[in-house]
């Protein structure tokens, strides 16, 4: 029986199948902030804060949550560097670890009549994807230059330069198909809040006979979330991070935050490869496939972003740029 202490949320006005679907992606840095100790207590505290912002969205929406795992999978890869665990297994491990915390805290916060479930999610990628020959996805912590070079020599890692040092880079192929889509559909039909495609999901290759095998890669979480939103026919896609909005000319004296912008305008701008570029690409792909709108902003402002009171809303067509 549910605890009497559990929060009593208003009951849904519509049956589960009638509620609009909403896919919300939580950035890895929003769940494990820069400079924080990467331990279970810190992770749970951040997850609890995230759920406080997200649980109200489940009142009126069929809610699907995804999350990043960049800091976590990189740390596990370092711990397992001398072992025999490939990246797809570490992807699954971090998806289960973070998904467990998110689902449990959601269960604690939702009404007694709503439940959450975390689902390990396999996502098909192509064996001939060029990404396998050009690692570009940063994972794990930043290392001082000397330490990063030593790790690269010791483990054969590819390293990328960042403002704070060196980070490991791994292959990041494009997501093509979500294997568990029908399971997610079933859970949503029964009113379950679904936590899935964590860390971009588990990359798998499809053999000629239709069987699957893991791939040594990490899929970009935002692109996986966009694919998920398209496959589920979501009304909106929210990409939540530790930045308040999407900026034009970010990092310069001309920087301005968009309140609303169309996809054609975004196509004429350049964004940072390791941060906003995949988010913008994910939003554009979702909208191009007929999605309603996408938005980018801070995790703690989730409800305001959905309502258009915060963050940046990205839409189709041609609209005048609106600024904060």
Domain residue ranges of the chain, discontinuous segments joined by +: 20-124+174-319, 135-170
Integer Cα distance of 171 and 185 in angstroms: 29
**Over the stretch 114-157, which tens digit does the pLDDT of each residue have?**
899 999 999 999 999 999 999 988 887 788 999 999 989 988 88
Instruction: Give the residue numbers annotated as catalytic, written as ranges.
Output: 28-29, 137, 221, 279
What pLDDT does 242 receive?
A: 87
pLDDT value at residue 83: 55
The closest alpha carbon to 61, from 8, 112, 115, 13, belongs to 13
Of 28-32, 80-84, 217-221, 227-231, the one with minimum mean pLDDT is 80-84
The 10s digit of each residue's pLDDT in 87-119 is 899 899 989 989 999 999 999 999 787 899 999
Would you state the pLDDT for residue 4? 46
pLDDT of residue 144: 92
Q: Rounded CA gap, 155 and 6, in Å?
A: 48
Contact 281, 273 (CB under 8 A): no
Name the architecture of domain 20-124+174-319: 3-Layer(aba) Sandwich (3.40)
Burial of 259 (0-12, 13-18, 19+ CB in 10 A): middle
Prediction pTM value:
0.88
Of 92, 27, 34, residue with least CA distance to 65: 27
| pLDDT on residue 312 | 98
């Amino acid at each position: 029986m549910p605890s009497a202490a559990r929060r009593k949320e208003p009951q849904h006005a519509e049956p589960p199948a009638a509620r609009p679907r909403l896919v919300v992606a939580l950035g890895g840095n929003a769940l494990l902030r820069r400079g924080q100790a990467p331990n279970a207590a810190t992770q749970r505290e951040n997850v609890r804060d995230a759920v406080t912002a997200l649980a109200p969205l489940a009142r009126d929406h069929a809610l699907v949550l995804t999350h990043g795992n960049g800091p976590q999978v990189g740390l596990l890869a370092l711990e397992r560097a001398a072992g025999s665990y490939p990246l797809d297994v570490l992807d699954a491990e971090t998806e289960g670890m973070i998904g467990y915390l998110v689902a449990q805290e959601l269960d604690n916060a939702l009404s007694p009549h709503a439940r959450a479930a975390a689902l390990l999610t396999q996502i098909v990628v192509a064996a001939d994807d060029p990404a396998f020959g050009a690692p570009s996805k940063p994972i794990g912590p930043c290392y001082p230059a000397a330490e990063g070079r030593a790790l690269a020599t010791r483990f054969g890692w590819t390293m990328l330069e960042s403002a704070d040092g060196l980070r490991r880079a791994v292959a990041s192929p494009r997501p093509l198909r979500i294997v568990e889509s029908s399971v997610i559909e079933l859970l949503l039909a029964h009113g379950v809040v679904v936590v899935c495609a964590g860390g971009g999901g588990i990359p798998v290759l499809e053999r000629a006979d239709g069987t699957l095998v893991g791939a040594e890669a990490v899929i970009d979480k935002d692109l996986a979330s966009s694919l998920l939103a398209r496959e589920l026919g979501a009304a909106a896609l929210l990409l939540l991070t530790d930045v308040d909005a999407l900026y034009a000319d970010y990092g310069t004296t001309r920087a301005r935050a968009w309140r609303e912008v169309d996809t054609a305008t975004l196509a004429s701008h350049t964004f940072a490869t390791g941060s906003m570029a995949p988010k913008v690409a994910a939003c554009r792909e979702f909208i191009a496939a007929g999605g309603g709108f996408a938005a980018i902003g801070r995790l703690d402002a989730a409800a305001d972003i959905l309502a258009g009171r915060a963050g940046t809303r990205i839409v189709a067509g041609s609209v005048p740029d609106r600024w904060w």
